[in-house]
Chains A and B, each alone.
Chain A
């Protein structure tokens, strides 16, 4: 079953502004170009808790899952 882009777009709404700002940049710049495989990785990443996700994005915690690394890289890109 293919992943609905609208759903992922909605799930990029997070609990605090830090992540919203990072995801807004990502949605604008990268999201439409993601392949199905990348979308599946993003879907997996979006299941993380917001604080966990934020820690990986700001680099205070290493990204513990190889599958998330590419998306974290895109989110970190200024």
Chain B
């Protein structure tokens, strides 16, 4: 079949913070750049980020990037690559100040500097005391960031393809990446985007879980596309559960609430975090807080008739503080929990929030995979940044506000790498293979012709329930084993999805079926990787790997200090070493230690 073709220097899939930051780098360097996005750029999920972006500016309390690096390595439970972490923490001030110059309306201190507030897991002097490191624009940091970046891209003539969905990655016989296929929702036409460089910035996949803080758009398309094209996904067993999702709805209550003094309480009103994290208390790292909450609930100290949640209390804060610093929180609480937090505490439970794993990259944003004995061989023409990528700076657990930073730093560095690879002549427009669009066309034809098939909604629901039950906050060997078998069954069913609406234009049923294909890849990767990792580390906590003298926190460094690589074909697993050496010679590695707060 004849498929239309468009040619660019670079194609970027995704117009959230990472995609827009990368696009800016390319467009301002004069490269002909196309950005594909399922929704209007400023409706990307980055808009949801409320809490802030981390940078050791030291405007409110003394700070420096060494402390930030330490916190990030410790937060990652030593699974983060120290070269990438050093790179990110050192670059933080530069990218945040750059954003300020792009017109980002950060909150200000009285003397006109960027206002900074404390955030979970961020500390002064290597864990001594909480530090104010989060730069925010009220509770609309992501929104403000995305708008600043979008305006800047418009100025730089970035070409946007809005309401286009990328379907599959195009690779040639050498394994090099030559672009993507995509469908235009308005016409239903498939088109090839042929490019010298392809950057994925498609965001997260939190919709694999039943209870999630993520909007419906987070379907892991980039991960699905990479996995189908034979590229492994890294560390997908690590999912962060945000401690404070509104009970029953999933909607997130930002950690900024605890930064401003919010307190978690159990049924008897006790501030229970004092027992679990005597130093940082309610501001301990997310996984620590989530597990403490689940322990309270499991041990019968939960709130409500079913003792199935805990309470987030801000009634002791002045209404002025709440209205000024945390305005959105009040409306969310009223709408989805039915309580006014000025008067009564908010019911909350840990809720799936952020994927630490993703498409493996190095700190330059180049996608890497094992080849000829090199575990990190770059795949020519392919780059990734943002939540879909795994650099890996978040390791086994991400610190709040480090994700927006990740978007800026690695969006920019992926863009810089493309420009460098361009200038050095490493990138060329390789000829498209004759079958470049075949995989996508076959997927669409299968969906079109499916008879007596499965409902997309039902299969999706089964996937979400399976993930929630078998791969939640606490993990059990028997549940994980069962989970692997069940998710494979769900995956089989997903190959027979049927849609009743066959219309060509604006067919949302088809879009959702195609998204499910991607979610399923992520779900399999998560379950299979989680079942195999027989230790507890960061967000991955197994009941059969408890805290002992030999294995503090259940972490087994002798065997498991390594990254997981999951391949879709045959659900095969491979592993690669963690980079324990920082980028610079003169920076000391942060030595393994027990993670306590």
Which A residues have a C-beta under 8 Å from some C-beta of B?
A: 4-7, 9-11, 13-21, 24, 49-51, 54-55, 58-60
Expressed in whole angstroms, the minimum distance between the Cβ of B215 and any Cβ of chain A is: 5
Across the two chains, which residue of chain A brings its CB closest to B511? A10
Among A10, A54, A55, A58, residue most surrounded by chain B Cβ atoms (within 10 Å) = A10
Q: Are B251 and A18 in contact (CB under 8 A)?
A: yes
Interface 9-mer from B264-272, B328-336, B395-403, B530-538: B328-336
Taking A4-B505, A58-B335 as known contacts, 4 extra A-B pairs with beta carbons closer than 8 A to each other, sorted by chain A number, are: A6-B507, A15-B215, A19-B215, A54-B331
Rounded to whole angstroms, the CA-CA distance of A59 and B328 in the bound complex is 12
Expressed in whole angstroms, the minimum distance between the Cβ of B177 and any Cβ of chain A is: 28
Rounded to whole angstroms, the CA-CA distance of A54 and B44 in the bound complex is 15
Q: Which residue of A11, A13, A50, A58 contacts B216 across the interface (Cβ within 8 Å)? A: A13
Q: Are A10 and B43 in contact (CB under 8 A)?
A: no
Please name all residues of chain A whose beta carbon is closer than 8 Å to the beta carbon of B42 when the two chains form the complex.
15, 49
Please name all residues of chain A whose beta carbon is closer than 8 Å to the beta carbon of B331 when the two chains form the complex.
54-55, 58-60
The number of chain B residues with a CB under 8 A from chain A is 37
Expressed in whole angstroms, the minimum distance between the Cβ of A19 and any Cβ of chain B is: 8
Rounded to whole angstroms, the CA-CA distance of A4 and B505 in the bound complex is 9
Expressed in whole angstroms, the minimum distance between the Cβ of A63 and any Cβ of chain B is: 15
Q: Are B44 and A15 in contact (CB under 8 A)?
A: yes
Rounded to whole angstroms, the CA-CA distance of A17 and B206 in the bound complex is 11
Q: Are A58 and B508 in contact (CB under 8 A)?
A: no
10 smallest beta-carbon distances between A and B, as pairs: A6-B506, A15-B47, A16-B48, A58-B331, A7-B506, A15-B43, A20-B216, A17-B215, A9-B508, A60-B331
Q: Which residue of B45, B140, B507 contacts A51 across the interface (Cβ within 8 Å)? A: B140
Rounded to whole angstroms, the CA-CA distance of A22 and B163 in the bound complex is 22
Please, could you name 6 A-B residue pairs with CB atoms under 8 Å apart, sorted by A? A10-B508, A17-B212, A51-B47, A51-B140, A58-B335, A59-B331
Considering only residues 300-348 of chain B, those with a C-beta below 8 Å from chain A are 327, 330-332, 334-336
Please name all residues of chain A whose beta carbon is closer than 8 Å to the beta carbon of B48 when the two chains form the complex.
15-17
Q: Are A9 and B336 in contact (CB under 8 A)?
A: no
Q: Are B334 and A13 in contact (CB under 8 A)?
A: no
Q: Are A13 and B143 in contact (CB under 8 A)?
A: no
Given contacts A10-B163, A50-B43, A51-B143, contact A18 B335 (CB under 8 A): yes
